[in-house]
Amino acid sequence: MPAWYITFPYSVGHIVSEEAVMKAIKDGGNFGMKPPAFSGPYVLAEWKQNQYALLTRNPEWSGPKPGFDEIRIVPIVDIKTAERAYQAGDVDFATIGPDSLATFKSNPPPDTKVEGYSSLHFVWLGMNMDNPKLKDINVRKAIQWAINVPQTLTAAYAGQANVATGPIPPGIVGHREKALVPPEGDLAKAKEFLEKAGVSDLQLTLDCDNIGIASTIAQTIQAQLSQIGITVQVNAQDPGSFWTIGQESAGDRWKDLQLYIQNYSGLPDPYYCTTSFVKAQVGIWNWERFRSDRYDELNDKAMTIEDPNERAKLYYEMQDLMEESGAYRFLTNDVTPVVYRTTKIQAGTRPDGVPLYLDFKPA
């Protein structure tokens, strides 16, 4: 149930000192990046936005001694910049691009451990069902069947990422063994759907962010859709612009939104993977504007079921409903490749590759 995998262990489940917090905020504000109390082996000694966060030993900590006197965490948004920083010796732990994983494995930098972890992310091509050009389900299904997912992942991830069957990744309750539309698609079937729609010379836009591999995914899909006569214009944009394009609160851009490459993060409970697609999220996180009373009913019911096998059945049906709408082409649950310097550290991570700095130890 979500309480055990999201609420308690994730951010809202943290236990803080009421006395210290109330003393720090006084007027009911917040303490920002200056926590008033610490209860672990490290303290946040310094933070500079977009530059670094510095963790140092907590002098009042009486438990096991942490591995390092200090850990400097450097935020690097661009994955290729992170790779170069690691190769230059500027950082000792980094997440690298999935398209670089095979190269790093075959020819790693000196004293480097290379590991690839299954991710909890969900990457897909979404379609705005309320856009006039995509209102016909036959058009949407034509797009679903025209996309060859393994071919897309070979281009974007060098074949290092899994083929998704839905938003719920492998290992999580409710993961489907296969999608309704086969991964390779079928161009002949895609053309049949377009003929049913009575559409020809269709021109669409495909939006994505310009960070990472979304552009490669978009360009590959652009070429695939051209094979059934759909002309696609790829609009790669800054994340700040992209992440508001489907949100009604940001204006009317959502009305012009057609196709897009989306990537949501996940947690180890299926509720986190599915709740963005309920009707209440239309115009917020539900950019497909997918609406299903049955889906919402199942999403609510699934939270109350403890038996994982019975709970999974509801999530199977929910993902079927998403796919049957024609508004989703599931691509991958992503992969998290990391590298670290074995002469400096023994890294600790979650099962999905996210670093756990408290578990870092000296080599």
Query: How confident is the model over 107-117, as pLDDT tens digits?
Result: 999 999 999 99
Residue 266: its pLDDT value, please?
Answer: 86
Q: Mention every residue, 6+ apart, whose C-beta is less than 8 A from residue 88.
A: none
Backbone angles phi, psi at 336, to 5 degrees: -115, 95
What does the pLDDT look like over 133-188, one tens digit per residue?
Answer: 999 999 999 999 999 999 999 999 988 999 999 999 999 999 999 999 999 999 99
User: Would the pLDDT of 278 be above 80?
Assistant: yes
C-alpha dist (Å) from residue 310 to 11, 172, 173, 174: 28, 14, 10, 9
Rounded Cα distance, 97 and 336, in Å: 8
C-alpha dist (Å) from residue 238 to 21, 173, 215, 245, 302: 36, 34, 11, 11, 36
Query: Which has more confidence, 245 or 266?
Result: 245
Residue 323: its pLDDT value, please?
Answer: 98
Confirm if 113 and 339 have CB atoms less than 8 A apart. Answer: yes
Q: Give the chain's largest Cα–Cα span.
A: 72
Residue 1: its pLDDT value, please?
Answer: 65
Rounded Cα distance, 231 and 138, in Å: 17
Residues in the chain: 363
Which helix (H) or strand (E) is 95 found in, with range? strand 93-95
Which helix (H) or strand (E) is 190 found in, with range? helix 187-197
Residue 349: its pLDDT value, please?
Answer: 94
pLDDT band at 306 (very low <50, low <70, confident <90, very high): very high
- Interval 59-74 mean pLDDT: 94
What does the pLDDT look like over 211-220, one tens digit per residue?
Answer: 879 999 999 9
SS3 345: strand
User: Would the pLDDT of 333 be above 90?
Assistant: yes
- Interval 261-280 mean pLDDT: 94
Residue 150: its pLDDT value, please?
Answer: 97
pTM for this entry: 0.88
If you search the block for the tokens 């670290």, which residue do you land on? 340
Rounded Cα distance, 88 and 109, in Å: 10
